[in-house]
């Protein structure tokens, strides 16, 4: 009996242990399953927390990814198939894509402006089918302008058992699969898979008929920034050229165009330098921005406004300067919809009402022009093309606003183009047009003989056409028409079949090389902004040298601008000019067609007042560089003199002070973060380092205090301060009275007496400078303030906003609003301001021309973010035309 009882106890114990093991096993499986599920569906940023970072297997580096041997075999068997079948075989099925030998890129970050993490739902197969079709249509599009590139790899497949992944189709497929895998857990704000974005960007690049490198860059342009793919990975798989292009686009993509001048200037600088290294970088960025604008409706309203404003101010003018008319027009029209939605909708309705009449008139004029050309023997060999084109909405709106007219008075809503075989035919066609229609005086332009800097060429004329309506006609060759549509993309060296850069291409990029040179030399943020806005986006005048060379300059340029355009030395020694044979001063503003002969003198040197008489960035940068170099040399001399006087004062005239200075020189350089002794002299002369602080480091604070007490007579101190100011030394910083700094740091000091310029009223976030004033401490100005520019440079000191101060006093900011002169507008604007919780200090209104009013508001604000928000709010009010800060 006891044996039986023991056996039962053993059985009971074993059952208990087995049950515990079973429960533990179930819990383990559940935990592992939940971890796997969490990793699969967690946002990409959490993958790193789990310790996962998928990489390319070393054996796969530089080889075609996501491509099975079955696919290659299928390629070989289809070698003799039709072009359509070849395209079919180039797209990998989703099952093959997922069977990827364990190779994957896992997303590790997101950009709020473009995508977000998403979970793969039941409709994933449907999305995959759409993505496959989008990629297939890309191959079709590329094949239309470069069919050889698309089909070449299939011919090689028979000749080489090891598939050559350097062929275009293989590289496109590889880039597509890598991008799709890298972005697989990312969605657009629209809910679409993120891979749809790089594919659409590649479609836009294909529309420009750009080369393979541009297409690959488009497909891969977001992988480095948003996933674990690195530039090293791309270089190993596709080579250095592609990785450099992707890197260039990535750097531009990191730009967040804000209202801070310092950030803006660096953004412009990156954009221009990227253009100088490889224009394809900017072309891909333009395509990227265009697709983002096409899908902007999914973004929050505030971001729609910011992105549209940034696009209108930067990317649309850039596309125009590069001559890419189609991209420029679409960007402007898309921005118009978000910046002025009501006005855009109203104009669209007006055009829709007139659409039937416009179409009939278009067809009528095209028929007449075709008949006239053929009767004149032009285009008999089918080389003639006559077409009408409607202006963009933004362009029409601008013309109506600028000329204060209605849509019915816009005579060039439709423009007509006559495309012919050669230049001689273009001039002949112009004669035919003028023989049959009366030309409008002053509306004839020969841009074939005098092309625009971006390469645009055409003959322009406006005539009185059928039914007495003005008709704008452009006449050009096929090549010129391609450049007019695609701009820089049409003749860039890397375009398919380019075959090298011609001298003509070199001339096309002269303006870009000059702009790069100017931007690299400039350090002041405001100067960089002005350089880009004035040189990249400005309208031009065309003038000639005495030898007949053509020089394009920004409108409003002077004789000095022309002199610096020709050569910096010529500008620096310019005393005047002969313009069309007559003597003119350096201030003379040049007109189209002027012939300019510069007069010089060896004794002439640049003057600070010259900055008031030049417009171009090159002239400004060269003048400032000369003045800065001259001032630096003088500052070093002045700083050395201060050191000598300080040593004499605090060491009582013996040589011990000089020896102590030499002994502690390295310590001084380290303390004040200076390169060498000359840098110390210059910093003292500029006022960047205080003489008192230098002497304290050498002799100690006790010795300095003793000497100062011995010389405490106030009259003596005032005389000394006056002498320092008279000698243009800024070492008086340490002697300025103390006060609350209002969130400003001067050097390393936080308690120096400050005041703010009432004219420019700096806000936290503005770029600022300080000016030493006798007895009143330092006055703070915005960098663009006219009173700052009129100040003695040797009294200007660097000041910054104190990041440790969170709460700052509100400051009055002046806003100017141009609005329609109609009842209720002022009340609406005031309501918009107060709705943001902002106080209005003062307001005034007056009438200006064309039925408009000018309102000036004084609003109490704390920082630039509040100002930006206010400008956006006011800009959305009905009747508001423009808002600007004074």
**Residues with a known catalytic role:** 225-226
Residue 854: CB atoms within 10 A of its CB come to 14
Residues 174, 66: Cα–Cα separation, whole Å: 7
DSSP state for residue 107 in the 8-state scheme: B
Residues 576, 732: Cα–Cα separation, whole Å: 41
Residues 395, 332: Cα–Cα separation, whole Å: 8
Q: Closest Cα to residue 881, out of 827, 820, 832?
A: 820
SS3 431: helix
Residues 363, 466: Cα–Cα separation, whole Å: 12
Residues 274, 869: Cα–Cα separation, whole Å: 31
CA distances from 714 to 648, 709, 717 (A): 21, 11, 5
87 Cβ neighbours under 8 A, 6+ residues apart: 136, 139, 140, 143, 150
Radius of gyration of the chain (CA): 35
Report whether 329 contacts 388 (CB < 8 A): no
Dihedral (CA of 267, 273, 279, 284) sign: negative
CA distances from 212 to 94, 140, 355, 629, 738 (A): 24, 14, 40, 46, 64
Instruction: Give the containing element (helix H, strand E) for 50.
Output: none
Residues 302, 828: Cα–Cα separation, whole Å: 20
CA distances from 755 to 739, 761, 886 (A): 10, 10, 19
775 Cβ neighbours under 8 A, 6+ residues apart: none
Classify each residue of 770-779 as buried b or exposed e, where b means 16 or more C-beta atoms within 10 Å of its C-beta: bbbeeeebbb
SS3 846: strand
Bridge partners, residue 414, by sequence: 390
Q: Most distant CA pair in the chain: distance in Å?
A: 136
Report whether 621 contacts 572 (CB < 8 A): no
Say if residue 542 is exposed, middle or buried (CB neighbours under 10 Å; 0-12, 13-18, 19+): middle
Say if residue 358 is exposed, middle or buried (CB neighbours under 10 Å; 0-12, 13-18, 19+): middle
Residues 266, 328: Cα–Cα separation, whole Å: 23
- Helix 279-294 vs helix 212-220: crossing angle, to nearest 10: 50
Beta strands in 447-487 (DSSP E): 459-464, 470-477
CA distances from 812 to 81, 620, 771, 831, 855 (A): 75, 32, 20, 18, 16
Instruction: Give the containing element (helix H, strand E) for 78.
Output: none
Q: Closest Cα to residue 164, out of 261, 264, 63?
A: 63
Residues 844, 855: Cα–Cα separation, whole Å: 6
Bridge partners, residue 371, by sequence: none
Residue 85: CB atoms within 10 A of its CB come to 13
Residues 835, 870: Cα–Cα separation, whole Å: 10
SS3 544: strand
Residues 656, 133: Cα–Cα separation, whole Å: 85
């Amino acid at each position: 009996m006891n044996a039986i009882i023991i056996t039962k106890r053993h059985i009971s114990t074993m059952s208990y242990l087995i049950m515990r093991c079973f429960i533990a096993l179930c819990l383990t499986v559940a935990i592992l399953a939940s971890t796997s599920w969490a990793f699969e569906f967690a946002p990409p940023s959490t993958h790193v927390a789990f310790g996962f970072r998928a990489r390319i297997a070393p054996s796969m580096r530089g080889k075609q990814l996501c491509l099975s041997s079955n696919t290659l075999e299928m390629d070989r068997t289809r070698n003799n198939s039709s072009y359509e079948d070849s395209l079919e075989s180039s797209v990998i099925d989703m099952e093959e894509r997922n069977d990827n030998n364990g190779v994957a890129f896992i997303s590790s970050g997101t950009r709020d402006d473009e995508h977000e993490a998403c979970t793969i739902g039941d409709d994933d197969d449907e999305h995959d089918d759409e993505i496959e079709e989008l990629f297939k249509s890309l191959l079709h599009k590329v094949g239309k302008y470069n069919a050889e590139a698309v089909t070449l790899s299939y011919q090689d497949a028979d000749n080489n058992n090891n598939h050559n992944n350097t062929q275009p189709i293989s590289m496109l497929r590889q880039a597509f699969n890598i991008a799709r895998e890298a972005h697989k857990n990312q969605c657009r704000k629209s809910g679409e898979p993120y891979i749809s974005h790089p594919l659409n960007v590649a479609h836009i690049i294909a529309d420009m008929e750009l080369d393979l490198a541009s297409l690959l860059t488009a497909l891969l342009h977001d992988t480095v920034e948003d996933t674990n793919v690195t530039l090293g990975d791309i270089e190993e798989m596709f080579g250095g050229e592609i990785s450099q292009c992707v890197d260039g686009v990535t750097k531009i993509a990191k730009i967040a165009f804000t209202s801070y001048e310092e950030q803006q200037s660096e953004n412009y600088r990156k954009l221009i330098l990227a253009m100088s290294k490889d224009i394809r970088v900017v072309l891909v960025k333009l395509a990227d921005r265009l697709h983002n604008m096409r899908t902007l409706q999914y973004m929050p309203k505030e971001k729609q406004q910011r992105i549209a404003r940034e696009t209108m101010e930067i990317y649309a003018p850039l596309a125009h300067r590069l001559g890419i008319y189609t991209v420029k027009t679409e960007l402007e029209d898309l921005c118009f919809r978000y910046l002025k939605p009501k006005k855009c909708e109203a104009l669209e309705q007006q055009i829709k009402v007139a659409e039937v009449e416009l179409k009939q008139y278009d067809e009528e004029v095209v028929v007449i022009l075709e008949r006239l050309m053929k009767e004149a023997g032009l285009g008999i060999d089918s080389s003639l093309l006559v077409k009408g084109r409607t202006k963009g909405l933004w362009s029409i709106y601008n013309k109506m606003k600028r000329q204060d007219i209605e849509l019915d008075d816009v005579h060039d809503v439709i423009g007509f183009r006559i495309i012919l075989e050669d230049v001689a035919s273009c001039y002949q066609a112009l004669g035919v047009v003028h023989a049959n229609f009366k030309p409008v005086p002053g509306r004839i332009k020969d841009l074939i003989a005098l092309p625009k800097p971006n390469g645009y060429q055409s003959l322009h004329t406006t005539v009185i056409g059928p039914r007495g309506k003005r008709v704008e006609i452009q006449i050009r060759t096929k090549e010129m028409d391609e450049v007019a549509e695609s701009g820089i993309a049409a003749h860039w060296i890397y375009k398919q079949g380019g075959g090298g850069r011609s001298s003509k291409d070199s001339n096309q990029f002269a303006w870009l090389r000059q702009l790069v040179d100017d931007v690299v030399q400039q350090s002041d943020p405001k100067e960089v902004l002005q350089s880009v806005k004035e040189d990249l986006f400005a309208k031009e005048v065309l003038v000639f040298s005495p030898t007949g060379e053509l020089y394009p300059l920004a409108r409003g340029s002077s004789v000095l601008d022309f002199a610096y355009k020709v050569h910096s030395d010529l500008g620096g020694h310019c005393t005047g000019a002969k313009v069309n044979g007559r003597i003119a001063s350096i201030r003379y503003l040049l007109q189209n067609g002027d012939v300019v002969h510069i007069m010089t003198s060896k004794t002439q040197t640049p003057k600070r007042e010259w900055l008031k008489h030049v417009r171009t960035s090159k002239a400004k940068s060269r003048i400032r560089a000369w003045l800065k170099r001259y001032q630096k040399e003088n500052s070093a001399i002045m700083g050395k003199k201060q050191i000598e006087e300080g040593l004499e004062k605090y060491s009582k005239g013996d040589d011990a002070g000089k020896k102590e200075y030499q002994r502690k020189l390295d310590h001084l350089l380290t303390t004040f973060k200076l390169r060498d002794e000359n840098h110390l002299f210059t910093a003292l002369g500029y006022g960047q380092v205080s003489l008192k602080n230098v002497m304290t480091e050498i002799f100690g604070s006790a010795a300095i205090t003793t000497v100062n007490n011995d010389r405490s007579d106030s009259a003596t101190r005032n005389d000394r301060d006056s002498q320092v100011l008279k000698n243009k030394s800024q070492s008086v910083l340490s002697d300025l009275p103390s006060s609350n700094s209002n969130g400003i740091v001067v050097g390393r000091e936080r308690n120096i007496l400050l005041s703010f310029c009432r004219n420019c009223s700096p806000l936290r976030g503005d770029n600022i400078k300080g000016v030493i004033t006798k007895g009143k401490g330092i006055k703070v100005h915005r960098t663009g303030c006219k009173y700052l520019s009129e100040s003695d440079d040797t009294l200007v000191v660097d000041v910054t906003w104190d990041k440790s101060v969170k709460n700052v006093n509100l400051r009055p900011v002046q806003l100017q609003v141009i609005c329609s002169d109609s009842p209720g507008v002022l009340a609406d604007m005031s309501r918009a301001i107060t709705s943001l919780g902002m106080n209005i200090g003062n307001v005034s209104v007056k009438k200006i021309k064309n039925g408009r009013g000018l309102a000036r508001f004084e609003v109490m604000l704390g920082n630039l973010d509040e100002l930006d928000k206010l400008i956006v709010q006011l800009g959305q009010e009905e009747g508001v035309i423009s808002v600007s800060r004074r």
